[in-house]
A and B are shown apart, each in its own frame.
Chain A
Amino acid sequence: MPLALIAALPFLGALLPGLMARAGRNTAALVTGAVTALALLGLVLHAPAVIGGQVLHQHIAWVPQIGLNADFFLDGLGFLFALLILGIGLLIVIYARFYLDPSENTGEFFTYLLLFQGAMLGIVLTDNVLMLLVFWELTSLSSFLLIGFWKHLAEGRQGARMALTVTGMGGLSMIAGMLILGHIVGSYDISTILQHAEEIQASPLFLPAMILVLVGAFAKSAQFPFHFWLPHAMAAPTPVSAYLHSATMVKAGLFLMARLWPVFAGRPEWFYVVSTVGLVTMVMAAKIALFKDDLKALLAYSTVSHLGLITFLFGLGTKAGAIAGVFHIINHATFKAALFMTAGIVDHETHTRDAKRLGGLMTLMPITFTIATVAGLSMAGIPPFNGFLSKEMMLEAAAHTGWWGLDWIVPLGATVGALFSVAYALRYVAHVFLGPVRDDYPTQPHDPVPGMWISPAILATLVILIGLFPMTMAGWLVTAAASAVTGAEVHPHIVLWHGITPALWMSVIAIAGGALLLALHAPLNRLWEATPKPHAKAMFDAVIDWAARGARGLTQGLHNGAISRYLAIFSVVVLVAGVWAFFTGAYSPGTRPMTPLEPVPVIAWFALMAATVAVVRYHHNRLLALVLVGIIGLMVSIAFVYLSAPDLALTQISVEVVTVMLLLLALNFLPKDSPRESSAPRKTRDAVIAIASGLGLGGLIYALMTRDFAYPTISDWHMAHSKAEAGGENVVNVIIVDFRGYDTFGEITVLGIAALAIYALTDALLRGPANARLRGWVPDLKRAGDRHPLMLVVATRVMMPIAVLVGAFIYLRGHNEPGGGFVAGLVIAIALLMQYMASGFAWAHLRQRANYQNLIGFGVLLAAATGIGAFFNGRPFLTSDFGHFYLPWHLGEFELATAMGFDAGVFLTVVGAVMLALASLSLIARRAGETVNQTPMSTDPSKAKTPEEKANALDEAAAEPHDDASEEH
């Protein structure tokens, strides 16, 4: 079976249990087991080749540009780990099937389990460090799901998050480390990296790379100071603990150390970091394990301790150390998985895992007792079980290791660690199974169904067999794996009895001392509980809480929702960046002479300034502010006239009129009193920012206007081609409808969208809580007696045809003289607005048929259609054409340009947009109780009505709203 397929099988199969769970947990377990067994079969088929020393490779390109490829290779080390992952995985599946309650979502559980299994397989089979990182973080993620499987438990959720945080952090650190390694070597292939050990060790980046990689490995393998997550991961269902903390997850770190052993080993940095951390972890965790009453916590700390032991061995950098390390990986996996499963059985059958509440189970649960004893004694390192063999090898290695010139410190540490190990292992057996039978178990314990004990039983058998026949049972595997680790052929010789050596004496001391410790457990435990200890979970929680609070403070503090502050920051940033950009570049002052100061601009300038300052001063009086804004607009229009820009002046003044009118109508519905003012310091701050920004902009404009263009501008070309090629004498209009008609197309769309948005907004408003407020609206200003005064009505009526004529004129002359569709649209809109203001919305609206939304839609479409018309001529969008026609009755030559169609679209959109805005405002007004008038003016001399008639007429009108929106309701 191809290696990639073996690694992919669990992923491919992961969906199956999730789906098959509907068919029951047996089916879910069966498909999971089948997938695992299939992958195991594929692996075992490769066994002869791998044991024979071959290395299998498979290459699949993924992202070759960054050296990330789905490459796989299988050597002794990978084989050993894959075997553990799949073999123990299979046993776990059986165990979990019987462990989990039928009410639980078994499908979900097995899906996560397979995902995790796939990730682990990927780590050990991949030949690419980047790919390894992918699988590495996948184990973090899938273990997060597994540990948090019991979502209703707070410990489960917190344990899952803690595991994800710590191992995820390690993974991220490893990303940096691996990238550095890859850059040194120039390849991300593990096989290649392993061959460039000298290059890496010679690199100045060796130490950072090693540390970064080791942080990842230590975090995963729960080495000090990252050990604290592992015990909290025990909140997971026991099958998860048994799988993750015996054979898989925590072994990933060890695997990585073994994998990269040839790269790092031999350097003193490696020895001092790895061995020291391993030794410290081993002793510290073993001591804590002794005082844990929760069986799973005891086993968790024992796992940390044993991982420390193996780390220590790999850190030695010697072949003997590597062999011992590899061998202990096998042994630990077998006895620890069995122990976790027995702890699960005890928990399952007695409903407690508290050692203080247990004891005497030997006769009640004989099968479990036997298994636990075999595995426990192996963990204690008692002959003839397999744990003894590897522990002896460890002690032997420790006995010959000096540390910073001190020969005794490592042997002492190893012995103490082993001593505690004996004590807690024996305690697990003694305090749970031995002693008198109690009568206060939560439930009556008995051995579980065979399905539950078969898995640990198989493992316990292996513990014995490997212990008795190490070379037959495991020798070949250790040889293959250790050869792969060290990159050289090794020939370990493991035997039960190897004479009286220092290691034997250390072992004897450990066993005797451990037994003694156990005997003294009660007083020691009291002492332990009396001593203050740093509590890792509390510290971790404190750090996370601190970080979360800090993050919240920073985030909320920065984004406090005050737009004034946002704009202040915006202005300061723009000003500072602009000033910096200017003063870091060369600047030669412009050469244009200053124009003489004339009275008109000076007066206009002062008026403009005065109006601007007055707006700031009187802004809380909204009506006055609007008038002042109108003055500013007027001044700007005058400036355009003065500077010979009639088109601009026309546009500007029409825009001013329309906006002031619409804003006047809108202001009616705003509160008339000013909101809370800023404090004086803040006002000062804002004033400083505003003045500085204004000065900055003024300076910029001065610099720009006193100089000539660096190159001839494109406007010369526009002027040259306007009449001849676009058929218009007014360059500005030609630019708007032709040269840059596309811009105009965009802008009228903007106008149309704005009107539609206003309409939608009003509609939403009237459907929301604002509706109630409007209905209860009490006019807060005194109203004039006649809403629709006679004089205004008459004046606007008279003006209407004139305005239309002016609009048509402006539209038609646009191409050659100042004017055009935009201005014409505004002029017509103003004329219409006046009608509406004079006689009320409903009255006026009844007298015109066009729907404003249609007007907008039609306008944009017309503009687009004119542009598209050019397609039929084989020309690009908006290409114009024009021709000269002779009108009858001696009216003379007349020019027609397609651009006029476009301009008509502009015209319609402008009218529609302005009127739709007005219609939206009128909707609000009507909701606020504005009555609908039937007659053009408030007092119509031709129709004198009795008061009753008036009231009826108003009621009828109110019942039948005639506005645009009503047709859609």
Chain B
Amino acid sequence: MIATLPSLALSSLTLTASAATEAVSQAAGHATTQVATAAAGAPVDPVSHWIIAPVLLPAVLAPLMVLLMRFDLLLQRVFSLAGAVALAGLAAWLMADASTGHIVDYRLGNWPAPFGIILVLDRLSALMLTLTAGLSVPVLLYAIGSNWDTRGRHFHALFQFQLMGINGAFLTGDAFNLFVFFEVLLIASYGLMIHGGGAERMKAGVQYVVFNLAGSTLFLFALGTIYSVTGTLNMADLAEKVAHLPAGDAGLIRVGAMLLILVFAVKGALVPLQFWLPNTYSHAPGPVAALFAVMTKIGAYAILRVYTLIFPPTTPATGTMFADILLPAALVTLAIGMIGIMGAKQMARMVSFAAIGSMGTLFIAIAQFTPAGNAAALYYTVHSTLAAAALFLITDLTIARRGEFGGALRAAPKITQSGLIAALFFVAAIATAGMPPLSGFLGKLLVMQATWNAPLRWWIWGAILVTSLISIVGFARAGSSLYWKANAIAPGGRLSVPEERPLLPFVATGMLLAGLVALTVFAGPVTHWMQGTATQLLDRTAYITAVLGHR
């Protein structure tokens, strides 16, 4: 019952947030005016309706599940999975379309930018959509196969809402709309995180939501500041206007930019704003934690987007401010995360710190603001998402079989399918630690090569290599305790868990690892694609023109 209070507070805060939406609208004017103008813009190309489909599909599927299927789990499973698969196909199709290099915008309500909200599909957003959808399919399979979805209500509806929120955040071209979708994905993730209940999980859930609501509040401050200076929140419009601000506005827009990056840093678990992550990820249900692997990437995505589009280093007001604070923080993040792998006492917590560490590497690459750095960041994003998700699923496989021993990193009697799970762990740990031959190593090579000309090159290289060693040692110790030491325990030792051998969880985990292998094998073409995306990101004019038209 105590845990209900935060959710109530949350819903009231949501109401307040809605009021905030209104406040922003109110800022746009409260007078009632009557001005006649020309009719709204011409009809759009019907094909471009597909851009909103990644948001609409889950947004329609979820209420349908609540409305029609909430008494039938099988129906929910079928529709949820079908939705995820359809989403994956859709995202892949959109990505293929975006690969041609053109940027498509979608005017919601047919209002022109910057006055209405627009969605923008470019290579980056298409990539993130595909990554999310590609991740959601195995995660959903796992949730179904492991029966996690039976341990509470509305799992599939919340899951779809979560996808809606993530997709919306990736697609939007409007800073305030980004806030709205941050809220959608935050509240859905809270619902998913506490799925199944339990005192520890509830407690972690409260911390998660409180810390992230602080982040949301900060988001509103940031948007308020930026709007008060520039009078717009459309990203392309901001990009144009911020570049030519009067000199006297520099201080204030810098504050706005700084608050914004801090908001995204909270999402991206950048030290010292990472505190919410370890408890959240380690107490979330396994498949939910696996899905959350993409949540930190939303922070990284937002920083990359805002950094390349609105506040590039050529901006007089902000200059290299982003890189100046991002790089040191990223180095510390890398260190804290990887040291955490060695310092954690619980398997899930260890994986959570690995997720933090990977964000460090990712932010190092982003902080370069070079095509090579961005390409490395994108490759690493895909890699670290899949690797972390796989590790979380393997953690759940292990914990589910260890009964009262749970995820404690100490010896327990041998678990069912120990050899297979140990092998999966070995592969996923190699990928996460950045050992050859998997994509983690390639990602690290990309990052290291991209930082060859960085002033802090030796610090970066040193941090990457030394933390790799720490994570290797940490993973080796953990793996040895979890899977090897069981052989030293007298065969009489038995675990009080039924010996079940479900297939689907392994299929799901295998899919993620197969994704890592594919990312490794096809690293050449993938990197090529990422380079194209990085180049497109740096071509701000193309984005601005696509959204605002030729000026």
Residues of chain A within 8 A of B33, CB atoms compared: 719-720, 722-723, 729, 731
A735 touches B527 (CB 8 A): no
Is residue A938 contacting chain B, with contact meaning CB distance below 8 A? no
Residues of chain B within 8 A of A583, CB atoms compared: 251
Residues of chain B within 8 A of A647, CB atoms compared: 22, 26, 30
A655 touches B15 (CB 8 A): yes
Complex-state Cα separation, A137 to B472, whole angstroms: 11
A760 touches B154 (CB 8 A): yes
Is residue B495 contacting chain A, with contact meaning CB distance below 8 A? no
Is residue B503 contacting chain A, with contact meaning CB distance below 8 A? no
Is residue A595 contacting chain B, with contact meaning CB distance below 8 A? no
Knowing A161-B477, A644-B30, A735-B25 touch, does A743 contact B4 (C-beta < 8 A)? no
Residues 262-287 of chain B, each 1 if its beta carbon lies under 8 Å from chain A, else 0: 10001000001101101100000000
Is residue B535 contacting chain A, with contact meaning CB distance below 8 A? no
Knowing A165-B472, A732-B26, A860-B63 touch, does A768 contact B231 (C-beta < 8 A)? no
A582 touches B252 (CB 8 A): yes
**Nearest CB to that of A170 among chain B residues?**
B469
Candidates B279, B444, B473; contact of A165 at CB < 8 Å: B473
Most B CB contacts (10 A, CB to CB) among A548, A663, A858 go to A548
**Nearest CB to that of A551 among chain B residues?**
B343
Candidates B25, B233, B353; contact of A555 at CB < 8 Å: B353
Closest 6 CB pairs of A and B: A588-B248, A764-B197, A713-B231, A715-B28, A757-B191, A555-B343
Most B CB contacts (10 A, CB to CB) among A64, A714, A724 go to A714
Is residue A712 contacting chain B, with contact meaning CB distance below 8 A? yes
Is residue B504 contacting chain A, with contact meaning CB distance below 8 A? no
Q: How many residues of A contact B (CB 8 A)?
A: 176
Residues of chain A within 8 A of B56, CB atoms compared: 864, 867-868, 877
A877 touches B197 (CB 8 A): no
Is residue A812 contacting chain B, with contact meaning CB distance below 8 A? no
Complex-state Cα separation, A712 to B198, whole angstroms: 52
Complex-state Cα separation, A452 to B420, whole angstroms: 31
Knowing A151-B488, A566-B276 touch, does A732 contact B30 (C-beta < 8 A)? yes
B28 touches A741 (CB 8 A): no
Residues 744-771 of chain A, each 1 if its beta carbon lies under 8 Å from chain B, else 0: 1111111111111111111111011110
Residues 147-191 of chain B, each 1 if its beta carbon lies under 8 Å from chain A, else 0: 000011110011001001000100000001100110110011011
Knowing A751-B15, A924-B1 touch, does A857 contact B436 (C-beta < 8 A)? no
A739 touches B116 (CB 8 A): yes
Closest CB in chain B relative to A63 CB, distance in Å: 4
Knowing A65-B524, A172-B468, A659-B12 touch, does A721 contact B255 (C-beta < 8 A)? no
B180 touches A757 (CB 8 A): no
B343 touches A876 (CB 8 A): no
Most B CB contacts (10 A, CB to CB) among A65, A644, A719 go to A65
A554 touches B343 (CB 8 A): yes
Is residue A932 contacting chain B, with contact meaning CB distance below 8 A? no
**Nearest CB to that of A135 among chain B residues?**
B436
B446 touches A66 (CB 8 A): yes
Known: A552-B342, A739-B115. 19 other contacts (CB 8 A): A133-B436, A551-B342, A567-B214, A569-B272, A584-B254, A588-B247, A644-B30, A663-B9, A669-B4, A714-B237, A747-B17, A747-B180, A757-B190, A757-B191, A857-B67, A874-B46, A876-B49, A877-B56, A968-B70
Residues of chain B within 8 A of A712, CB atoms compared: 231
Is residue B32 contacting chain A, with contact meaning CB distance below 8 A? yes
**Nearest CB to that of B350 among chain A residues?**
A555
Q: Which of A173-181, A292-300, A600-608 contacts B (4 or more CB under 8 A)?
A: A173-181
Complex-state Cα separation, A563 to B204, whole angstroms: 10
Is residue A789 contacting chain B, with contact meaning CB distance below 8 A? no
Closest CB in chain A relative to B331 CB, distance in Å: 15
Q: Which of A41-49, A245-253, A524-532, A702-710 contacts B (4 or more CB under 8 A)?
A: A702-710
Residues of chain A within 8 A of B325, CB atoms compared: 577
Residues of chain B within 8 A of A577, CB atoms compared: 258-259, 262, 325
Closest CB in chain B relative to A270 CB, distance in Å: 23
A770 touches B152 (CB 8 A): no
A754 touches B524 (CB 8 A): no
B109 touches A768 (CB 8 A): no
Knowing A179-B448, A714-B115 touch, does A758 contact B19 (C-beta < 8 A)? no
Complex-state Cα separation, A63 to B523, whole angstroms: 6
A157 touches B484 (CB 8 A): yes
Closest CB in chain A relative to B222 CB, distance in Å: 10
Is residue A844 contacting chain B, with contact meaning CB distance below 8 A? no
Interface size class on chain B is 35 or more
Residues 174-215 of chain A, each 1 if its beta carbon lies under 8 Å from chain B, else 0: 011001000100000000000000000000000000000000
Is residue A856 contacting chain B, with contact meaning CB distance below 8 A? yes
Overall SS of chain A's interface: helix
Complex-state Cα separation, A469 to B473, whole angstroms: 48
Overall SS of chain B's interface: helix
A746 touches B253 (CB 8 A): no
Complex-state Cα separation, A563 to B14, whole angstroms: 21
Show 5 residue pairs from A and B whose CB-CB distance is below 8 angstroms, ordered by the A residue. Answer: A161-B477, A663-B9, A714-B237, A744-B21, A877-B109
Is residue A75 contacting chain B, with contact meaning CB distance below 8 A? no
Within 8 A of A (CB), among B516-533: 523-524, 527-528, 531
B197 touches A768 (CB 8 A): yes
Within 8 A of A (CB), among B463-481: 465-466, 468-470, 472-474, 476-477, 480
Is residue A574 contacting chain B, with contact meaning CB distance below 8 A? yes
Residues of chain A within 8 A of B234, CB atoms compared: 714
Is residue B442 contacting chain A, with contact meaning CB distance below 8 A? yes
B449 touches A743 (CB 8 A): no
Candidates B8, B25, B195, B336; contact of A917 at CB < 8 Å: B8
Closest CB in chain B relative to A914 CB, distance in Å: 8
Knowing A66-B449, A746-B183, A879-B109 touch, does A148 contact B484 (C-beta < 8 A)? yes
**Nearest CB to that of A745 among chain B residues?**
B59
Closest CB in chain B relative to A562 CB, distance in Å: 9
Closest CB in chain A relative to B123 CB, distance in Å: 17
A130 touches B484 (CB 8 A): no
A741 touches B109 (CB 8 A): yes
**Nearest CB to that of A864 among chain B residues?**
B60
Is residue B506 contacting chain A, with contact meaning CB distance below 8 A? no
Closest CB in chain B relative to A655 CB, distance in Å: 4
B339 touches A551 (CB 8 A): yes
A876 touches B342 (CB 8 A): no
Complex-state Cα separation, A267 to B342, whole angstroms: 40
Residues 45-72 of chain A, each 1 if its beta carbon lies under 8 Å from chain B, else 0: 0000000000000000111111010000
Complex-state Cα separation, A577 to B452, whole angstroms: 28
A651 touches B19 (CB 8 A): yes
B22 touches A587 (CB 8 A): no
Within 8 A of A (CB), among B13-67: 14-19, 21-23, 25-37, 39-40, 43-44, 46, 48-49, 52, 56, 59-60, 62-67
Is residue B10 contacting chain A, with contact meaning CB distance below 8 A? yes
Knowing A561-B279, A584-B254, A754-B7 touch, does A720 contact B32 (C-beta < 8 A)? no
Complex-state Cα separation, A631 to B214, whole angstroms: 22
Is residue B384 contacting chain A, with contact meaning CB distance below 8 A? no
B250 touches A587 (CB 8 A): yes
**Nearest CB to that of A769 among chain B residues?**
B199
Closest CB in chain A relative to B277 CB, distance in Å: 9
Residues of chain A within 8 A of B40, CB atoms compared: 725, 879
Complex-state Cα separation, A663 to B1, whole angstroms: 12
A165 touches B35 (CB 8 A): no
Candidates B26, B44, B152, B343; contact of A760 at CB < 8 Å: B152
Residues 73-89 of chain B, each 1 if its beta carbon lies under 8 Å from chain A, else 0: 00000000000000000
B191 touches A756 (CB 8 A): yes
Candidates B9, B15, B487; contact of A151 at CB < 8 Å: B487
B473 touches A757 (CB 8 A): no
Complex-state Cα separation, A742 to B228, whole angstroms: 22
Is residue B501 contacting chain A, with contact meaning CB distance below 8 A? no
**Nearest CB to that of B418 among chain A residues?**
A151
Residues of chain B within 8 A of A173, CB atoms compared: 465
Residues 481-494 of chain B, each 1 if its beta carbon lies under 8 Å from chain A, else 0: 00111011000000
